[in-house]
Amino acid sequence: MISTVIPVYNEAESLPQLYDELTSVAGAQGYKLDIVFVDDGSTDDSWQVIERLAANDRRVHGIRFRRNFGKAAALSAGFDAVKGDLVMTLDADLQDDPKEIPHFLEKLGEGLDVVSGWKQVRHDPWHKVWPSRVFNAMVSRMTGVKLHDHNCGMKCYRREVLSEVRLYGEMHRFVPVLAASRGFRVGEIPIEHRARQHGESKYGVKRFVKGFLDLLTVVFLTGFGHRPQHLLGSLGLIAFMVGGFLMTWLAGRWAFSRLIDSWEVVHLHQTPVLAYSLALLLLGAQMLSMGFLAEMITAKTSRDADTYSVLQRTDGAGDDLPSHEDLEPREEAQSPLPRTSASSQRDQSLTGEA
């Protein structure tokens, strides 16, 4: 079964067409489909449309938030409700084309765990496109996960990925990064991006500031989430050592200036380096203390959380855990589209760009 999770915020006009396109693709390809709409506090008729769709089709399920909690919360609620072994996410604004789903499944069948879409040609204003490209390049460089479009809402996951990745805040755009840090295999395919037909974009300039702060958080969590002292302690030791060296140098100058008559007498209270040395010593001590506190918190809170990710087990070793092969798309449920000349050209373009 393929589950689709669709966050919704004031997209009442788009939902009927999106539903028709999803069911059309599922019918043409023989997919067993499960559709989960998550209404993230919409103020229009989005929930009434979802209720109507759910009443007419048992494959449609709706979740309604009391207020707007954000896309990450909507995706997290949707992930908890899905039934399929494969999970697709896409936006409700019709800019993501459901006809791309077979291409995602085909790429996933190559042994990947996460497939992210790449809007190679975007139909958005320039003030959204260029900052997004800069942000994507920065994410790829800082995290080591080389994707052209981390922000793309159209992605495909194996369900086991979502059981190990926890979403909160604005972390939805970093799911591939978080998955890669757990050892899952991540890839991307170019997809068609359509112009918005109804409504207006829900994102502004503030999302780039939030995105950068979340990027710093992700880099810290993926690199030092289980060993915070390695970062904080290292910074503290460097500051402490530099401060200690400067203090030793000042003490030597002060002593020799009074022992050697030809040296100018040094008055420490008139030397700015003294203040810098003391500040570095205090900063080093604070960073080390913060590192120890972080280690204590990590040790206490991570007792019930696995610090590893299992790919396979032999018979009898964790019978309840599905293997990677168990989650491979079934032939009769997937029926991926044959490779067309257009898709081959897109793959060649992707290879050239990478």
pLDDT digit string, tens, across residues 149-182: 888 889 999 999 988 888 776 778 889 998 998 8
- Read off φ and ψ for residue 99, nearest 5 degrees: -65, -15
Q: Give the global pTM.
A: 0.69
- Per the CB < 8 A criterion, the answer to whether 145 and 180 are in contact is yes
- Per the CB < 8 A criterion, the answer to whether 170 and 214 are in contact is yes
Residue 286 pLDDT exceeds 80: yes
Give the DSSP H/E element, type plus range, for residue 120.
none
Task: Report pLDDT for 346.
Answer: 43
Residue 143 pLDDT exceeds 60: yes
pLDDT digit string, tens, across residues 311-354: 677 765 554 544 444 445 444 444 444 444 444 444 444 444 44
Task: Report pLDDT for 151.
Answer: 83
**Using the 8-state DSSP alphabet, how is residue 53 labeled?**
H
pLDDT digit string, tens, across residues 125-134: 666 777 778 8
As a whole number of angstroms, the distance between CA 219 and CA 74 comes to 23
Which among 37, 118, 101, 43 is positioned nearest to 334, based on CA atoms?
101
In terms of Cβ atoms closer than 10 Å to its own Cβ (0-12, 13-18, 19+), residue 290 is: middle
User: What's the chain's length in residues?
Assistant: 354
| Angle of the 228-259 helix axis to the 272-301 helix axis, nearest 10 | 160
pLDDT digit string, tens, across residues 74-118: 999 999 999 899 999 999 989 899 999 999 999 999 999 999 999
- Per the CB < 8 A criterion, the answer to whether 291 and 232 are in contact is yes
Residue ranges in the chain assigned as alpha helix (H): 15-29, 46-56, 71-81, 101-108, 126-143, 159-162, 175-181, 206-224, 228-259, 272-301, 331-334, 341-353
- Per the CB < 8 A criterion, the answer to whether 124 and 203 are in contact is no
pLDDT digit string, tens, across residues 227-247: 888 888 899 999 999 999 999
